[in-house]
Amino acid sequence: MRRALFVFAYWPMLALWAPLGHATPQAPAPQQNSSYYVRNGDVVQLVSGDPAGAATASWQVWVYSQPVRVSPSGLGLVYSRWGVLEGGSAAAVMAQLAAYQDFERAYTSLFGTHTWGQYSFAYSVGPVAVTEQGQGDDPYALRSKIAMLDHQVRSVVAALHPSLVNAERGQATAAVQPDFQQVRNSMQNVARFYDRLSRLPGQQNYLAQEMALVIPGVTRAQSAVPAVRAILPSVKLPVSKSWMTHTEQAGKDGTINVTVAEVGSSAWIQQNWTGGDGSMTGTKIITIVPYQDIGTIDIEVSRWERNPHWTVRIHPANSNGFPQSVTSPERVTAKRTYRAVDLKTTEGFLYLEFTDPTDAQDAYAFFLYHKERGR
């Protein structure tokens, strides 16, 4: 019953919930790399220039438990590091470092300064250009396996970092602390494995045994995401409820007065149509959105209209759709008469339109909060 939704560009304000960029403990603001390191045997040399122009397929960042001093030859850097981050570009590996540092800062801010342990991502050297040396035979496919585990851990870190930032100390955070400890352990274990793989490429049997110890921990960390979010959602519940009563324009069909109400573990969205050419006047649509049935949530902005509007779309998690009722009296226009409607149906998705981006952001946060909590 709603108007067709055409092409929109994604709303930049979503970046507020997923900050990512190059950061250091002293200066967390993003910065552009103008130099990088090249390892040649035991010698590590600093090279001026943009690493994006280097002909290197693999890049690393070396992490340390304490501040390190880089000598002109770089001697000892390989042997004093505790772990390695590895990626396909300097930008990618530095972005991963920044994300891990942000996660560690939020973790220690919530659980305490000394809860992270000795394997910190706060002190690093990188990006480091990696040559092909030491990457010969790989009968156990360890490189592809650790790359997959690394991807899984990075996804968990990105998913749970907002929950850490929004959380407040208390009984709820104590309940999920073991889950966050598992994520921390997985971050450290994958970085330590990359270090061993880089330094001990010939010891495949030993490395395969170490890999077998890393996999279960990563699996547990990944499976903990829904449980953690049910206690500590990735967004805070909006304080303002002004967005729950608003008006949407429907062109020749008139105006839609929208009211969102919480009923148990569901949101009831009522849309009343008035004005326009009369074809929709008097129509009332009620859509029930059970929180546990929410799937994806999109937020978009129209950019070609003189008066832009922001659209929040809520999709169901299953193919059944959201329950919906449609009622309206007989409607008479200059062209035709529309019969009365009393219909029980389902809706494949629901969308709400706002002229105020703050209201759209609050609506997005409201549905995401309840989706993650399931109630």
At 22-73, the pLDDT tens digits run: 233 333 444 456 888 888 777 787 888 888 877 777 899 999 999 988 877 6
Q: What is the pLDDT of residue 170?
A: 74
CB of 196 within 8 A of CB of 210?
Answer: yes
CB of 91 within 8 A of CB of 52?
Answer: yes
Least Cα distance to 59 among 107, 130, 1 occurs for 130
pLDDT digits 0-9 by tens, 292-324: 999 999 999 887 667 788 999 999 999 999 999
CB of 90 within 8 A of CB of 35?
Answer: no
Considering the chain, what is the average pLDDT of its residues?
Answer: 85
pLDDT digits 0-9 by tens, 118-173: 999 999 998 998 875 555 577 788 999 999 999 999 999 999 999 999 887 776 78
Please compute the mean of the pLDDT values over residues 321-334 and round it to a whole number.
92
Q: Please say if the pLDDT value at position 282 is more than 60.
A: yes
Q: Please say if the pLDDT value at position 280 is more than 50.
A: yes
Q: What is the pLDDT of residue 171?
A: 67
As a whole number of angstroms, the distance between CA 160 and CA 89 comes to: 24
Q: What is the pLDDT of residue 51?
A: 85
Model confidence pTM above 0.85: no
Which of 99-102's residues contact partners 24+ apart within 8 Å by CB, and which partners? 99/20, 99/154, 99/157, 99/158, 99/161, 100/157, 100/187, 101/23, 101/24, 101/25, 101/28, 102/19, 102/20, 102/23, 102/28, 102/161
Please compute the mean of the pLDDT values over residues 335-349 and round it to a whole number.
92
Q: Where are the domains of the chain?
A: 32-231, 237-373
Q: What is the pLDDT of residue 70?
A: 80
Q: Please say if the pLDDT value at position 186 is more than 90.
A: yes
pLDDT digits 0-9 by tens, 206-238: 999 999 999 999 999 999 999 999 999 999 999
